[in-house]
Amino acid sequence: MIKTTASILSVFVMTFATSSFAQTLKHEPAMGAMREGQVVFVDDGTCPVGQIKRVVGGNHTKVGGTKQIVRTSRCVPR
């Protein structure tokens, strides 16, 4: 029982640890510089105190991509 619980806990921790590897940048990358679905955090002062900008890369044809997926950004808690 204890080994099973420890195994489940370690899988849970590893799953969430990999999502914390998103980069924190001072400036948002140029259009076309991010991969589709890539997540970066941008600390450029545009979000309220205690928040940071989360940017998710798109793949839009207007910036050389192959799909109609636009880049999104929003302020999230730090």
Q: 3-state DSSP call for residue 36?
A: coil
Q: What pLDDT does 18 receive?
A: 42
Q: Which two tokens stand for residue 68?
A: 């109609």
Q: What pLDDT does 3 receive?
A: 54
- Residue 16 maps to a domain: no
- Residue 34 maps to a domain: yes
- Residue 7 maps to a domain: no
How many whole angstroms separate alpha carbon 38 and alpha carbon 53? 14
pLDDT tens for the 78 residues of the chain, in order:
555 554 444 444 444 444 557 889 999 999 889 999 999 999 999 999 999 999 999 998 888 888 999 999 999 999
- Residue 43 maps to a domain: yes
- Across the strands, what pairs with 76? 52
- Residue 64 maps to a domain: yes
Q: What pLDDT does 70 receive?
A: 92
Q: Could you list the residue range(s) of the whole structural domain that residue 56 is in?
A: 22-77
